[in-house]
């Protein structure tokens, strides 16, 4: 298999409402990723886009709209989407471009501008539900997460406090991220006592609506070695999509992620992920999801995740730091850009360039994951140095 | 480059102006069932990965990727959607096999455009929200601008564009899946109501519903699954700027098609496409587009397509048949599913399964798709029955 | 470029920046209308709901009784055209108590929270649930595993929609 590495990364600050247009956000992130690698736009072979539902931006064919901002003018560009999972999946998509041998370099750019949706991006989530059998009930996106969170908590007897621990872990890590939209330390009590939105989901269990972009430059081995002495290799990729009939699934365990993770680990030759992986960036739009996903990623035994979290196993200085970036809860959630931010974090952590967020012990192997559609898809990227 | 890849299964359903009897799920199930049977009776659980192509606003569903797996039998399998033309989706499937991670990948796309009340509204949402959309113009004006510029730059005539419509609608009469076939004259077209001059109502293809599923496989698997693999020799895609006001060279020239074709030819080792390729299915969403794309794909020089058309070169019996299926003008426009429809038609010809429209002795074909206004994205593929 | 630069752009705006006219905005409201074809399976499902009945389909191979009904079994990948009437009762698989409307606006004073739930319908295969609402129940009394019964709209108000069931109430 052709070896592919990450050789550059960049992102914008994640903010509640950005001055920049989606194109401009794309440009900022793409520009840093290119400049930090030293590759010129002329030498770039292709661009892979990720952006989640067009409804947020209010722009049909949003991938087309982003093209000039992301460096794709007069190049092959292709947009991929798997809903919320898009940000990590776009890296998989970019990997396809280079690992196939069709291209030597691929710039992956993910952007989301959710503040354009008025009065609130949440309203557009109504349109993700089955147009005939579900939308008439006027569902809210919070419903399905609340239903899943409740199922997960009941299955293992977890409490709201248990879930809040994950929020605090990530939000604390995020305070050191220069792109974070937060500046205040949050406690377990703050989370539990925040406004109840949809039991069991309180406001601080949820990541915020954000604008932002993130980009990663991928290169085939010879190019990668020429551009940098610290390429971060894509060791494994995996993805899986479960049935659209989500109400027929066992919501307490992410089977789709189990499949995706095994696919990525098989490619990476990883037999014991919990022992071999040094840092994990599980997708955390809600605090329970970070834990749910640690189980799906085979990084924590089912039902023992809270215990490990309480023991400090997933802390920044623990055996397996969870979301050292701060994750969506700690940095912000411009959907597809947030997933790519997780891969950027692997890039910086594995190169030892994560500044104040740097986890100790020279991490060698990391995993990033994102999740989406109707709670049914996951994409996984394993990266190593 | 590593693995050789072939198309080993084709299935389709619909291709009519409405399809109220079936949901999109049921329509895709039908196409998938036919496709899997065609690919040696493969069960979808033995397919490694699936790629759909769609755009949310066309379907009225946000994150349409959610609803992809079931009707393809792809539950708990690697599935992704491409927000682009389905020929780009096919390119993704091809790349997945070439990485070595997968051996068999399915590509699917569908159109249920009949469920959409105002197509023009959706197209308008693809224009810049700050400085094009507030003009509140019908987006077909973009095609009018392009056509006018193309005619100006190349000396191609209004009548030559009309001739494309005449040819394609006539070809469609030989295609049982084509719904817009007709015997129609150049005068019928030039005399019809203008839409956005010089574009008239008959210069625009009509919409249809339909679904297509194809299976791609690596060489070893291809030989296991079928006796008539159709090999993918080359592929390319490219995008010009989305800013209409920056597209100064592109309005007349279809630069995206030049770049996509160049990449596909390079990969296929083709230097003289007109001589080395036997026929083509080329985007004709609008009449002028067929001529503009033929030139951009270097099948003739700039401004020559109209003359060659008048000479009959692009007729089914000509030197280089184009859109024997009837194209979008004769068979109907499937929007993001257009690319797969063109590939489907090319595969049928290369397999010798095109019925009364079968061309004699064809071995290598070209399919080219464009994403329609206001985009400047096109994709080209070279297919051959010979390895 | 300084190798240290990893983050740039993402300039935050406040509501005041907009209300004070410092930032220009262009507004457009999306005007898309769709009429989705329900197809064979869901057409029958909706017609039966109009008659206050819930119907599913059964796969002749894996024997699953599926809800919502479908023309094909997505796992066996064969047509599934055996129709099976199900009960209009079921079990709560999971639930939520939701204080915001679909557009994220908060429910008003005196308004009751929404009570969405996944309900496993009796007669369907184990785990086959649909999303619906609960009613005639105090939120604090809702429990996973609770038996519930559909409350139908009167015949004159039923229109062939999932909302022909007003909600499910505890049995």
Whether B70 and A68 lie within 8 Å, measured CB to CB? no
Interface-testing mutation among A59, A96, A265, with chain B (most B C-beta atoms within 10 A): A96
Write the CA distances from A10 to A13, A31, A230, A343, integer angstroms. 10, 8, 16, 10
Cross-chain Cβ contact C12/A123 below 8 Å:
no
CB atoms under 10 Å from CB of C159, counted, come to 12
Q: For C123-159, how does the pLDDT look when each residue is reduced to its tens digit (9 = 90+)? A: 999 989 999 999 999 999 999 999 999 999 999 999 9
User: Considering only residues 153 to 182 of chain A, which have any Cβ-Cβ distance to chain B shorter than 8 Å?
Assistant: none
pLDDT one-digit tens code per residue, B39-72: 999 999 999 999 999 999 999 999 999 999 999 9
Q: With contacts defined as CB-CB under 8 Å, which chain C residues touch A55?
A: 30
pLDDT digits (tens, 9 = 90+) for B17-33: 999 999 999 999 999 99
Give me the residue from C26, C28, C39 closest to B25, CB to CB.
C39
What is the overall mean pLDDT for chain B?
96
Q: Determine the distance in angstroms separating the CA of B228 from the nearest CA of chain C, rounded to an integer.
A: 25
The predicted-structure confidence for A145-157, as pLDDT tens digits, reads as follows 999 999 999 999 9
For chain C, the straight-line distance linking the first and the last C-alpha, in angstroms and rounded, comes to 68
Within 8 A of B95 by CB-CB distance, chain A residues are: 96-97, 99-100, 102
First to last CA, chain A: 17
Going by C-alpha positions, the residue among B123, B131, B84, B91 that lies closest to residue B107 is: B91
Task: For residue range B130-158, list pLDDT tens digits in order.
Answer: 888 888 888 999 999 999 999 999 999 99
Residue A104: band (very low, low, confident or very high) from pLDDT cuts 50, 70, 90? very high
Which residue, among A48, A65, A78, A140, would best test binding to B if mutated, counting the most B CBs under 10 Å from its CB? A78
Q: A1: which chain B residues are within 8 Å (Cβ-Cβ)?
A: 99-101
| A-proximal residues of C, 51-110, CB under 8 Å | 66-68, 74, 93-105
Q: Are the beta carbons of B19 and C72 separated by less than 8 Å?
A: no
Residue of B nearest to C79 (CA): B29
Look at residues A277, A346, A338 and name the one whose alpha carbon lies nearest to residue A50.
A338
**Secondary structure of B135-196 as H, E, C letters:** HCCCCHHHHHHHHHHHHHHHCCCHHHHHHHHHHHHHHHCCCCCCCCCCCCCHHHHHCCCEEE
Locus of tokens 């199900």: C86
Q: CA-nearest residue of chain C to A116? A: C27
Helix (H, G, I), strand (E, B) or coil at B382: strand
Crossing angle for the helix pair A287-296 and A160-174, to the nearest 10 degrees: 90
Per-window interface: C 123-142 vs B, CB < 8 A:
none
Say whether A289 sits in a helix, a strand or coil: helix
Whether A53 and B62 lie within 8 Å, measured CB to CB = yes
User: What does the pLDDT look like over A152-177, one tens digit per residue?
Assistant: 999 999 999 999 999 999 999 999 99
Q: Give me the mean pLDDT over the B356-374 stretch.
A: 97
Q: Do B44 and C26 touch (CB under 8 A)?
A: no
Task: Give residue B186's pLDDT band: very low, low, confident or very high (50, 70, 90).
Answer: very high
In chain B, which residue's Cα lies nearest the Cα of C24? B130
Is the CB of residue A13 less than 8 Å away from at least one CB of chain C?
Answer: yes
Which of the residues C66, C67, C77, C102 would you substitute to probe the B interface, choosing the one with the greatest number of B C-beta atoms within 10 Å?
C77
Q: What is the rounded CA–CA span in Å between residue A75 and residue B380?
A: 14
Q: Is A361 exposed, middle or buried (0-12, 13-18, 19+ CB in 10 A)?
A: exposed
C-alpha C108/C-alpha B120 separation (Å) is: 38
A265 and chain B: CB distance < 8 Å anywhere? no
Q: Which of residues 79-118 of A touch B (CB under 8 A)?
A: 79-83, 89, 92-93, 95-97, 99-102, 116
Question: Among B99, B129, B238, whose Cβ lies nearest the Cβ of A99?
Answer: B99
The answer, for B208 touching chain C at a CB cutoff of 8 Å, is: no
Q: What are the DSSP calls for C102-150, one per residue? A: TTSPBPPTTPPPB-EEEEEEBTBPTT-EEEEEB-SS-GGG--TT-EEEE
Please tell me what DSSP assigns to residue B338. H
pLDDT number for residue B199:
97
CA dist B197 and A92 (Å) reads: 44
Q: Which residues of A touch C117 (CB under 8 A)?
A: 147
| Residue B116 to residue C34, Cβ atoms within 8 A | yes
Kindly indicate the confidence band of residue C1, based on its pLDDT and cuts at 50, 70 and 90. Answer: very low
Is the model's pLDDT at A121 over the cut of 90?
no
Q: Which residue from B36, B75, B134 is facing C75, i.e. has the nearest CB? A: B75
- C30/B contact by beta carbon, under 8 A: yes
- Measured in whole angstroms, the distance separating CA B19 from the mean position of its chain's CA atoms is 20
B36 touches chain C (CB under 8 A): yes
Instruction: Read off the DSSP letter of residue B249.
Output: T
Angle, CA of B266, A100 and B90, to the nearest 5°? 75
| Helix/strand/coil percent split, chain B, to 5 | 45, 20, 35
- Whole-number pLDDT of residue B305: 98
How many angstroms separate the CA atoms of B265 and A340, rounded?
A: 33
**Inter-residue contact B67 to A244 (CB < 8 Å):** yes
CA distances (Å), origin A274, targets A172, C15, C26, C144, C155 = 23, 45, 50, 32, 57
pLDDT, position A119: 78
CB atoms within 10 A of CB B320: 19
- CA A312 to chain B, closest CA, distance in angstroms equals 33
pLDDT at B246: 86
Q: Does domain A4-118+208-384 have CATH number 3.40.47.10?
A: yes
Task: Pick C37's closest partner by Cβ from B29, B115, B122.
Answer: B115
Residue B204: DSSP 8-state: B
Tens digits of per-residue pLDDT, C49-79?
999 999 999 999 999 999 999 999 999 999 9
Helices and strands counted in chain A (H then E): 14, 11
Mean pLDDT, residues A30-42: 96
Evaluate the CA torsion angle B57, B61, B65, B70 in order and state its sign. negative
pLDDT for residue C24: 86
Question: What is residue C104's predicted lDDT score, i.e. its pLDDT?
Answer: 83
E strands along chain B, which residues?
5-16, 49-53, 79-82, 104-111, 194-196, 199-200, 209-218, 230-239, 279-282, 364-370, 377-384
Give the containing element (helix H, strand E) for B31: helix B24-38
Q: For residue B2, what pLDDT is reported?
A: 60
User: Quick check: A196 and C133 CB within 8 A?
Assistant: no
Burial of residue B274 (number of CB atoms within 10 Å: 0-12, 13-18, 19+)? middle
| Sign of the CA dihedral running C51, C53, C54, C59 | negative
Phi, psi angles (nearest 5°) of residue A210: -145, 165
Contact present, B153 and B291 (Cβ < 8 Å): no
For residues C23 and C9, what is the distance between their CA atoms, to the nearest angstrom? 16
Chain A, 241 to 300: residues with Cβ < 8 Å from chain C are 243, 245, 247-251
Give the mean pLDDT of A118-134: 86
Predicted ipTM?
Answer: 0.97
Within an 8 Å CB–CB cutoff, is residue B128 touching chain A? yes
In a mutational test of the C interface, the residue from B19, B21, B23 whose CB has the highest number of chain C CBs within 10 Å is: B23
| Cβ neighbours of C42 in B, within 8 Å | 23
Using the Cβ of B136 and the Cβ atoms of chain C, whether some distance falls under 8 Å is answered with: no
Secondary structure (3-state) at A146: helix
Burial of A136 (0-12, 13-18, 19+ CB in 10 A): middle
Q: Nearest by CB to B99, which of A1, A72, A125? A: A1
Does pLDDT of B1 surpass 50?
A: no
- The neighbours of chain A, by the rule of 3 or more Cβ pairs under 8 Å, are B, C
Six-digit token string for B292: 């503009």
CB B50 within 8 A of CB B102: no
Q: Give chain A's mean pLDDT.
A: 96
Q: Touching check for C23 and chain B: CB below 8 Å?
A: no
Per-residue H/E/C for B253-273? HCHHHHHHHHHHHHHHCCCCH
User: Chain C within 8 Å of A14 (Cβ-Cβ)?
Assistant: yes
- Express as a percent the part of chain A with pLDDT over 70: 100
> How does DSSP assign A84-139, residue by residue?
BTHHHHHHHHHHHHHHTTS-SEEEEEEEEE-TTSSS-GGGGGGGGS-TTTTGGG--
Mean pLDDT of A333-358: 97
Whether B300 has a pLDDT exceeding 70, the answer reads yes
Going from N- to C-terminal start, the domains of chain A cover 4-118+208-384
Q: Give me A279's structure tokens.
A: 């840092």
pLDDT of A259 > 90? The answer is yes
Residues of A in contact with C101 (CB under 8 A): 138, 140
The partner residue sitting opposite B121, judged by closest CB among C32, C36, C41, is C32
The CATH superfamily assigned to B5-117+207-225 is Thiolase/Chalcone synthase (3.40.47.10)
Q: What's the pLDDT at A268? A: 98
Of B63, C10, C17, C15, nearest in space to A331 by CA: C10
Query: Between the CA of residue C100 and those of A123, A142, A208, A249, what are the distances in Å?
Result: 11, 9, 16, 25
Q: Kindly report, residue by residue over C99-116, the tens digit of the pLDDT.
A: 999 888 899 989 999 999
Tokens standing for B2? 């590593």
Say what the pLDDT of residue C3 is.
52
């Amino acid at each position: 298999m052709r070896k592919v590495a990450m050789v550059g990364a960049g992102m914008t600050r994640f903010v509640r409402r950005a001055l920049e247009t989606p194109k401009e956000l794309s440009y900022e992130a793409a520009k840093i990723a290119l400049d930090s690698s030293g590759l010129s736009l002329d030498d770039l072979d292709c661009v892979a886009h990720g952006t989640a539902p067009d409804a947020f931006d209010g722009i049909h064919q949003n991938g087309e709209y982003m093209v000039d901002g992301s460096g794709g003018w007069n190049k092959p560009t292709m947009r991929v989407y798997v809903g919320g999972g898009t940000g990590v999946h776009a890296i998989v998509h970019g990997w396809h471009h280079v690992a196939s041998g069709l291209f030597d370099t691929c710039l992956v750019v993910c952007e989301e501008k959710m503040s354009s949706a008025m009065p609130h991006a949440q309203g557009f989530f109504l349109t993700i539900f089955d147009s005939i059998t579900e939308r008439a009930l006027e569902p809210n996106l919070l419903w399905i997460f609340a239903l899943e969170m409740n199922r997960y908590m009941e299955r293992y007897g977890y409490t709201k406090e248990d879930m809040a621990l994950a929020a605090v872990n990530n939000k604390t890590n995020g305070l050191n991220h220069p792109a974070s939209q937060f500046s205040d330390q949050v406690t377990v009590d703050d989370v539990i006592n925040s406004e109840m939105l949809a039991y069991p989901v309180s406001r601080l269990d949820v990541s915020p609506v954000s604008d932002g972009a993130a980009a990663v430059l991928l290169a085939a081995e010879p190019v990668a070695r020429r551009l940098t002495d610290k390429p971060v290799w894509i060791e494994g990729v995996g993805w899986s999509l479960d049935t659209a009939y989500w109400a027929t699934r066992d919501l307490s365990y992410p089977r789709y992620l189990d499949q995706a993770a095994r696919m990525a680990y098989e490619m990476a030759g990883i037999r014991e992920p919990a022992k071999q992986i040094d840092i994990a960036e599980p997708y955390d739009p809600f605090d329970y999801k970070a834990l749910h996903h640690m189980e799906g990623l085979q990084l924590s035994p089912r039902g023992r995740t809270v215990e490990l979290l309480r023991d400090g196993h997933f802390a920044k200085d623990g055996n397996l730091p969870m979301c050292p970036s701060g994750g969506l809860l700690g940095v912000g959630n411009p959907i597809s850009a947030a997933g790519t931010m997780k891969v950027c974090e692997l890039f910086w952590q594995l190169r030892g360039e994560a500044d104040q967020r740097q986890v100790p012990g020279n991490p060698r192997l990391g995993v990033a994951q994102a999740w989406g559609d109707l709670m049914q898809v996951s994409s996984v990227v394993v990266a190593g140095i | 480059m590593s693995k050789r890849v072939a198309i080993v299964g084709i299935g389709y359903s619909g291709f009519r102006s409405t399809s109220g009897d079936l949901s999109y799920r049921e329509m895709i199930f039908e196409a998938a069932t036919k496709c899997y049977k065609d690919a040696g009776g493969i069960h979808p659980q033995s397919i490694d990965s699936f790629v759909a192509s769609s755009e949310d606003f066309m379907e009225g569903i946000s994150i349409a990727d959610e609803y992809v797996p079931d009707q393809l039998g792809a539950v708990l399998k690697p599935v992704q959607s491409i927000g682009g033309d389905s020929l780009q989706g096919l390119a993704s499937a091809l790349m997945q096999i070439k990485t070595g991670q997968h051996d068999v990948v399915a590509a699917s796309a569908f159109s249920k455009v009949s469920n959409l009340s105002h197509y023009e509204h959706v197209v308008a949402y693809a224009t810049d929200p700050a400085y094009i959309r507030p003009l509140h113009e019908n987006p077909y004006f973009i095609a009018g601008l392009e056509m006018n510029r193309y005619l100006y730059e190349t000396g191609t005539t209004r009548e030559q564009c009309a001739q494309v419509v005449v040819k394609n609608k006539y070809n469609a009469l030989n295609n049982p899946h084509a719904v817009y076939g007709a015997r129609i004259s150049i005068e019928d077209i030039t005399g019809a109501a203008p839409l956005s001059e010089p574009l008239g109502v008959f210069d625009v293809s009509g919409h249809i519903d339909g679904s297509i599923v194809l299976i791609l496989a690596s060489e070893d698997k291809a030989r296991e699954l079928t006796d008539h693999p159709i090999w993918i020799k080359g592929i390319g895609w490219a995008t010009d700027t989305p800013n209409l006001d920056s597209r100064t060279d592109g309005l007349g020239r279809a630069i995206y098609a030049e770049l996509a074709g160049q990449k596909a030819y390079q990969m296929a080792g083709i230097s003289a496409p007109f001589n080395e390729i036997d026929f083509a299915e080329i985007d004709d969403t609008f009449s002028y587009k067929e001529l503009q794309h033929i030139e951009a794909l270097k099948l003739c020089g700039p401004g020559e397509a109209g003359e060659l058309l008048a000479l009959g070169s692009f007729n089914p019996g000509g030197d280089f048949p184009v859109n024997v299926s009837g194209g979008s003008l004769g068979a109907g426009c499937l929007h993001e599913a257009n690319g797969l429809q063109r590939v489907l038609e090319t595969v049928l010809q290369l397999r010798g399964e095109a019925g009364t429209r079968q061309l004699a002795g064809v071995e290598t074909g070209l399919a080219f798709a464009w994403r329609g206004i206001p985009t400047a994205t096109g994709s080209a593929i070279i297919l051959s029955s010979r390895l | 470029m300084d190798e240290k630069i990893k983050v740039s752009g993402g300039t935050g705006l406040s509501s005041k920046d907009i209300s004070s006219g410092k930032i220009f905005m262009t507004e457009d409201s999306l005007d898309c209308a769709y009429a989705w074809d329900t197809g064979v399976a869901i057409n029958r499902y909706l017609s039966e709901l109009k008659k206050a009945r819930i119907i599913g389909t059964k796969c002749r191979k894996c024997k699953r009784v599926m809800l919502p009904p479908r023309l094909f079994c997505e796992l066996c990948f064969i047509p599934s055209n055996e129709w099976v009437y199900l009960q209009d009762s079921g079990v709560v698989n999971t639930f939520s108590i939701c204080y915001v409307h679909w557009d994220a606006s908060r429910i008003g004073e005196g308004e009751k929270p929404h009570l969405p739930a996944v309900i496993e319908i009796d007669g369907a295969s184990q785990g086959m649930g649909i999303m619906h609402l609960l009613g005639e129940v105090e939120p604090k009394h809702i429990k996973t595993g609770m038996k519930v019964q559909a409350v139908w709209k009167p015949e004159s108000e039923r229109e062939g929609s999932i909302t022909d069931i007003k909600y499910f109430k505890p049995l």
